[in-house]
Structure 1
Amino acid sequence: MINLAIDGGQSGLRLRVLPDGRTGRGPGYQHGPDSRAATVEAIRAAARDAGVAEQVDTIRGASGARLTEPVDTICLGLTGFPPDAATAAQLARHIARSLPAREVRLTQDMVTAHAGALPGGHGVVVAGGTGLVCLGVGQDGTWRKVDGHGYLFGDAGSAFAIGRAGLVAVQRARDGRGPSTTLTGTGLDPISLYPSPTLVAEVAAFAPEVFRHAPTDAVAQAIVDQAARDIADTIHAALIGPDAVPVALVGGLFEGAGEQLVEPLRAALSPRAQLTPPAGTSLDGAERLATGDLTPYADLVLVHR
Structure 2
Amino acid sequence: MRFFLGLDGGGTKTACALCDEDGLIVGFSVGGPSNHLSLARGEEALREALRDVVEDAFSRAGIGRPRLSAACLALAGVGLDGRSPVAARVACEVVPADDIVLENDAVAALVGATAKDWGVVVISGTGSIAVGIDREGRRARAGGWGYLIGDEGSGYDIGRRGLTAVARAHDGRGNYTILVEKALAHYRLDTLDGLRSVLYRSETKAKDIASFAPLVVAAACEGDAASVDILQTAGRELGLSAVAVVKALGLEDEEFDVAPCGSVFKAGQLVVGPFRSELLRAAPSARIVSPRFPAVIGALMIALRRSGRVVDGAVLSNMARGCLECGLPVGDVGEATCEGKD
Q: TM-score under structure 2 normalisation?
A: 0.76
CA distance in 1, matches of 2:162, 2:47: 38
Task: Name the aligned partner's letter for residue 24 of structure 1.
Answer: S
Partner residue in 2 for 1:116: 112
Q: How does 1:200-239 map to 2 (within 5 A)?
A: 200-215=206-221, 216-239=223-246
Pair 1:51 & 2:58 matched? yes
Question: Quick one: distance in 2 between partners of 1:47 and 1:293?
Answer: 19
Q: 2: CA distance between counterparts of 1:282 and 1:32?
A: 21
- The reply to whether residue 78 of structure 1 matches residue 52 of structure 2 is no
* Deviation, structure 1 residue 247: 1.0
In the TM superposition, residue 221 of structure 1 has moved relative to its aligned partner by: 0.6
Aligned-partner SS, 1:101? coil
1:258 to 268, 279, 300: 268
Letter in 2 for 1:50: A
Superposition pairs for residues 129-148 of structure 1, below 5 Å? Answer: 129-148=125-144
Identify if the C-alpha distance between structure 1 residues 143 and 98 changes in structure 2 by more than 3 Å, giving closer, same or farther.
closer
- Paired residue secondary structure (2:201): coil
Cα 1:120–1:4, aligned 2, differ >3 Å: closer, same or farther?
closer
Distance 1:12 1:40, change over 3 A: same
Alignment gaps of 5+ in structure 1: 54-66, 296-305
How many aligned residue pairs are there? 281
Alpha-carbon contact 2:81-2:103 (below 8 Å) kept: no
Deviation at 1:69, TM superposition (A): 2.3
2:126 is matched by which residue type in structure 1? T
Paired residue for 1:24?
29
Structure 1 residues 45 and 32, CA, compared in 2 at 3 Å: closer, same or farther? closer
Distance 2:207 2:40 in 1: 21
Structure 2 counterpart of 1:25, which letter? Answer: V
Compute the displacement of 1:104 (Å): 1.5
Q: Normalising by structure 1, report the TM-score.
A: 0.84
Residues 113 and 152 of structure 1: CA distance in aligned 2, closer, same or farther (over 3 Å)? same
Q: Which has the higher strand share?
A: 1
Matched, 1:247 2:247: no
Secondary structure in 2 aligned to 1:279? coil
Q: Does 2:8 correspond to 1:7? A: yes
Q: Select the residue among 283, 287, 295 that pairs with 1:274.
A: 287
- After superposition, the Cα gap between the structure-2 partners of 1:267 and 1:90, relative to the gap in structure 1 and judged at 3 Å, is closer
Change (3 A) 1:178 1:198: same
C-alpha contact (below 8 Å) 1:17/1:50 kept by paired residues: yes
- Per the TM alignment, residue 85 of structure 1 is displaced from its structure 2 partner at its CA by 7.9
What letter corresponds to residue 207 of structure 1 in structure 2?
Answer: A
Letter in 2 for 1:212: A
Tell me if 1:101 matches 2:108: no
1:123-164 CA distance string (max 9 Å, x none): 211011000000112222222111100001111100100110
Counterparts of 1:227 and 1:116, CA distance in 2: 24
Cα distance in 2 for partners of 1:217, 1:165 equals: 14
CA RMSD of aligned residues (A): 2.4
Q: CA separation of 1:109/1:294 partners in 2, compared to 1, >3 Å: closer, same or farther?
A: farther
Alignment partner of 1:151: what SS? coil
2: CA distance between counterparts of 1:252 and 1:281? 13
Instruction: Give secondary structure in 2 for the equivalent of 1:235.
Output: helix
1:31-46 matched pairs, under 5 angstroms: 31-32=38-39, 34-46=41-53
- Structure 1 residues 201 and 85 mapped into 2: Cα distance closer, same or farther (>3 Å)? same
C-alpha distance in 1, partners of 2:50/2:162?
Answer: 37
One-letter amino acid of the structure 2 residue matched with residue 175 of structure 1? D
Shift of the 101–139 alpha-carbon distance from structure 1 to 2, 3 Å rule, reads closer
* 77-86 or 229-238, which deviates more: 77-86
**Contact 1:193 / 1:199 at 8 angstroms: preserved in 2?**
no
* Matched letter for residue 205 of structure 1: S
Q: Is the 8 A contact 1:214 1:221 kept in 2?
A: yes
Which of 303, 316, 319 is the equivalent residue of 1:290?
303
Unmatched runs of 5 consecutive residues or more in structure 2: 309-342
Deviation at 1:81? 2.1
Distance change >3 Å, CA 264–CA 90, structure 1 → 2: closer
Query: Shift of residue 48 of structure 1?
Result: 2.7
